[in-house]
């Protein structure tokens, strides 16, 4: 998801480099710091992280069983 957004922003920057470049740069910085802060909070909140890992494990086991069948 993040990769698609980055490529979209990159194409926007190429198209409108002269007018919107500073605004887009600021937006990218805000998005980047926000994402980084959210990841840090998740790392600190260990209980939430554990539940996320459990959900991911459940999801991957479901995918694996679907592929095996």
End-to-end CA distance of the chain: 28
- How do residues 13-57 score in pLDDT, each as one tens digit? 566 555 556 777 777 777 777 666 777 776 677 677 678 788 888
**How confident is the model over 42-52, as pLDDT tens digits?**
667 767 767 87
Domain ranges in the chain are: 2-68
12 and 24 Cβ atoms separated by less than 8 Å: yes
């Amino acid at each position: 998801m993040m990769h698609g957004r980055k490529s979209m922003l990159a194409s926007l920057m190429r198209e409108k480099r002269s007018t919107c470049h500073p605004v887009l740069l600021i937006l990218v910085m805000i998005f980047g710091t926000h994402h980084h802060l959210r990841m840090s909070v998740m790392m600190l909140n260990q209980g939430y992280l554990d539940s996320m890992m459990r959900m991911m494990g459940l999801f991957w086991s479901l995918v694996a069983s679907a592929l095996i069948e």
